[in-house]
Chains A and B, each alone.
Chain A
């Protein structure tokens, strides 16, 4: 079955960096675009970034553009999110999610990893 497992979250000081990973299994990873979506404590869902199936195109939310970088390694079935210059407002659970391009929606989600930005 399709499985997405995030890792790499933790507590980090403002201005520092963190890299999240999302290990995919149960499907042909290289055939699907992938997203990062985040959820601040007690808040709603916020789309963060998308990377196309082959890594050729990447798009970001205004709130993270220039600070976050989405990437993927199709040989390792893994999605990444490099987060630099972290701010308190980046504190959230970060989910990876599989893209359904024809309909612009997410059909599978990981369990999430918590990132806390605090001094």
Chain B
């Protein structure tokens, strides 16, 4: 049982826009801690995709965007491409746990 809740799967056709939700609580996202997103392509290590709710590291296309409101956050991917098919994880900090970084359970994106 993950501290942050994500849908297990989402799907979309090439060119479409999809969103992935991440729901937390008053001890993590709702407490004002930032949300970060990671992309994990099949068989590879996770890669930082979005940090600080809506910031993209260098090299990440602007098709990826993030937002946060209240106890939830969302990752949006526009102009879907086949290479976007991957697992996506949200992550935050939880003040109820010692120095604990917490993850969502992950969302499998399928590009139809």
> Contact residues of A with B, CB < 8 Å?
35, 37, 44-47, 50, 57, 59-62, 95, 100, 103-112
Q: Is there contact, CB below 8 Å, between B100 and A44?
A: no
Q: Is there contact, CB below 8 Å, between A46 and B103?
A: yes
- Beyond A105-B48, A107-B48, 10 extra complex contacts between A and B, CB < 8 Å: A44-B105, A44-B106, A60-B98, A62-B97, A103-B51, A106-B36, A106-B46, A107-B51, A107-B57, A110-B45
Interchain CA distance A109-B36 in the complex, whole Å: 14
Interface residues contributed by chain B, number (CB under 8 Å): 27
Q: Is there contact, CB below 8 Å, between A104 and B45?
A: no
Closest B residue to A33 using CB positions: B99
Q: Is there contact, CB below 8 Å, between B101 and A104?
A: yes
> Contact residues of B with A, CB < 8 Å?
2, 33-34, 36, 38, 44-48, 51-52, 57, 89, 91-93, 97-106
**Which residues of A are found within 8 Å of B34, using beta-carbon distances?**
103-105
**Which residues of A are found within 8 Å of B105, using beta-carbon distances?**
44
Closest B residue to A48 using CB positions: B101
Interface centre among B45, B92, B93 (most CB of A within 10 A): B45
Q: Is there contact, CB below 8 Å, between B45 and A109?
A: yes
